[in-house]
Amino acid sequence: MSDAPTRPRADASGPLDEGAGGGPPTTSPPDRTEAKIATQPPPGKKVSRPGDRIFSTLATSASVFITVLIAAIGIFLVWRAVPALQRNQVNFLTSSVWNTTDINDMAFGVLDLFQVTVLVSFFALLLAMPVALGIAIFISNYAPARVARPLAYVVDLLAAVPSIVYGLWGLLVFAPAISPFAVWLNENLGWFFLFSTGSGSVAGGGTIFTAGIVLAVMILPIITAVSREVFTQTPVSHIEAALALGATRWEVVKTTVLPFGRSGYISGSMLGLGRALGETMALYMILRTTTQPFSWSLFDGGSTIASKIALGYAEFNNDIQAGAYIAAGLVLFILTFVVNATARAAVAGRKAK
């Protein structure tokens, strides 16, 4: 559970309390001039002090380290996956069977795992994004400081609950509780493919529907924390300008906070999606697997890529069998990578406008 975002400042009360926002204007001019002077002395390089060198070395090596680490993970996955893929007798990307026990007769494909992973993650994201937006706006703009701070803690606390607890709660408490609603959806909206009868038992609860809702709760704190941090950074001058023009509170939020914080909100959501894609334990507990094909219904069962690996781990007999699962892990790795890259591109594109 190390994926909770770090929050250096617990200041949820926002810059409004600090009054006229006088801090930056008074201190920044001297900063700027100093910076000019410091960079101007032409070829001397005398400004490089030991502290500078040590710190820049540390920072550089940290970033090099993480790059090398990610590359190493990628290489490891490919290296271990290839021997299994060579023995695979069906198309890895378009098949749904999973039969790896006999390494001389292996047939495994990632299609259903991939589809379940995508559906459950996006369903969770769809549920979590609006709620997270509401919480973040409330904390940053509506709540009095006295309420905002504890509320922020409570939301962050959700990220500190171990995922196995979410899994057990989802399986034993939440699934039976939500079951009547799920049955109602299935009976009344069953004509829509997401709510049609799938391979899982609607009343039993071990479906993508239940798992997605639990997952939404799990990714809520990440999206909220990131969005809240960005929303509180909205320049006070923007807010005051809007207020001066007679904007109501909602109009202030609409015209200043949301446009300013949109990219932060999107990247927070992508962090959440990344977590949802990789979440293992809760889905491992909640989702019931099935031998029937996936039909894009929320009432399907199945397993995600990550939960499939966890389900199979205990009986790995050799590296080749493990390699089949690692190949699935490679697909997840690439999927997460693509999702993050797309999100970054989207954010960058918006900024450029």
Q: Would you tell me which residues interact with another protein (CB under 8 A)?
A: 98-99, 101-102, 146, 149-150, 153-154, 157, 160-162, 164-165, 168, 171-172, 176, 199-201, 203-204, 206, 284-285, 287-291, 301, 303, 310-318
Instruction: Give whichever of 141 and 290 is closer to another protein, judged by the CB atom.
Output: 290
In DSSP terms, 108 is beta-bridged to 98
| Nearer of residues 242 and 326 to another protein, judged by Cβ | 326
Q: Tell me the closest approach of the beta carbon of residue 153 to another protein, in angstroms.
A: 5
Which of 241/311 has CB closer to another protein? Answer: 311
Question: Taking the mean position of all CA atoms in its chain, how far away is CA 90?
Answer: 32
Q: Is the Cβ–Cβ distance between 233 and 262 less than 8 Å?
A: no
In this structure, the number of other CB atoms found within 10 A of the CB of residue 310 comes to 16
Decide whether 55 or 313 has the Cβ nearer to another protein: 313
Contact between 330 and 306 (Cβ < 8 Å): no
Structure tokens at 262: 């949109």
**Integer Cα distance of 138 and 228 in angstroms:** 9
β-sheet bridge partners, residue 103: none
What is the number of other CB atoms lying within 10 angstroms of the CB of residue 169? 17
Supply the minimum distance, in Å, between the C-beta of residue 17 and another protein: 13
**CA-to-CA distance for 342 and 337, rounded, in angstroms?**
9
Instruction: Return the number of the residue (179 or 267) whose C-beta is nearest another protein.
Output: 179
Q: Distance (Å, rounded) from C-alpha 311 to C-alpha 17?
A: 52
Cβ 159 to another protein shortest distance, Å: 12
